[in-house]
Structure 1
Amino acid sequence: VFWTSTAFGTAISLVLGGVIAANYGWRTAFFVAGAPGLILAILIILTVREPVRERDIGQDDQTPAPSLLQTMRFVCANPTVFHAFVGIGLASLAMSGVPVWAASFLVRTQGFTLPQAGLMAGLGVGLFGALGSFLGGPAGDAVVRRWGVQALPAAPMVACVLACVSGLIFALGSSLMVVALGFIVFEIVSRGFTAPAYAILVTGVEPRMRGVVVSAVQAVTNLVGYGVGPLVVGVVSDRVGGTNSLKVGIAAVMIFSLWSGLHFLAAWLAARRSERFVDGATA
């Protein structure tokens, strides 16, 4: 449920961004997009309180929480968590590269106007991205019920492979119908992987490490994923040049989705040998 918010936010930004950019310029669109974040930050400071943290068995309130360095050492020493951490970062490169360039892609390849492209891309992300985010959790739960906690990494692994295939269909499709189908499937599976992927992280670390681990992977997805993913598409597109350059750029970034799937495969194999995941499956 939490991850549906990112799909809705991206959808609103694409729709309104296209309209505002077409009428008032792209600089104004950026200013308008930043305003809700500032308002929300003030509301969080004024209204949200720190929750009571879960404690490990035998731990008292005076025990200091693990530091960032201790937590990251734990992550690196735990193959299941490490590969999930890296896999999430790599998947975010592809997950961010497609929707950021989707509107421009539709303008260049399908002859849409900027407002039309923003509306279509926004509806795709808002409807099907939110659907994927919502279904990701139940899909992960179904895997755990059927094969145990140690099989949980299989869910994001399959999602990343499907995201790679559907992303290529979106980028290289010969008709609007094929492009739309590829985009719909990509949004569902690329956002559906998040819930089971993050579940691997919180399952694989100690309770008092969970906040730091989730914060760290969020920093990676924002800085690397949303910072580098769209950049890779743009750089490849500029290097290739021509009318189909953006197709090649979007197709190129799909390698990160496949690479992410390999890390989740490694996480799956490691989880089968991990006491934490095997014991969780039988507890």
Structure 2
Amino acid sequence: MNAKPLSFQWLSRALIYTSLGLGALLFLAPLYVMVITSLKDAEQIRAGNLLALPTSLNWESWTLAWSTACTGAQCSGLQPYFWNSVLMAVPAVLLSTAWGAINGYVLSLWKFRGSDTLFALLLFGVFMPFQVVLLPMSQVLGWLGLSSSVGGLILVHMLAGLPSTTLFFRNYYAAVPPELLRAARIDGAGFWMIFWRIILPMSTPIVMVTLIWQFTQVWNDFLFGVAFTGADSKPVTVGLNNLANTSSSVKAYNVDMAAALIAGLPTMLVYVLAGRYFVRGLTAGAVKG
């Protein structure tokens, strides 16, 4: 009597796994092409078989993309752009996450008159097109003396990411029982002691979600990088664009693919190493309360 239900369950499970497998193959196909193309020499690329594995591993294109490929008039590869992105992304992500945590803590657990209105105004920043703020932000950076600098780009990304980080932490902290804060206040704990000793230790899941989200947004940004930086402060996304668009007698597709992989490697590593924390953090935020 159980043969039919069991066979139906097996068939449905097989269809699900087949669909997931096909979806994964389609999603990973461009990455596969990029990797094998970056490891081929020019002769193998001209052979025309896009999906064929390289006959030998050729790391020369990676060396060229990193250190000697031309990005316009400059021929120093992606290396200076990459380190500019590191100098920009790390403080921007940490500062916007810390500031968002404090904002979310205040707006959810220390409400004051007009706090809901302030939070609604902050939400406009989540949906506002970044193109709208290019001109006023460039003027502000000029007044502060931070235009065309890595410091200015840090400030821009910190402010641009603040609505999202505030939203994440505010929604997470909204599920914290208010009795917990009342008990802490009775014991003599103040604003900062409650935050450091009680709230922050509970925030590991949402901190991981916010850090991963913010790092991805900041590292992959192109608009702010091309609009607010000078020749010596451009991030890796701008360097990659310059490298790919630099004209030469023969198009070096292997160098372009290697450069694209170098530019995307940090975000790929973040998701490979910390992806489970991202999913766990989203799940924890969804089931609290």
Larger helix fraction of residues: 1
TM-score range for the pair, normalised by the shorter chain length: 0.3 to 0.5
* Structure with the greater alpha carbon radius of gyration: 2
Task: Return the TM-score normalized by structure 2.
Answer: 0.34
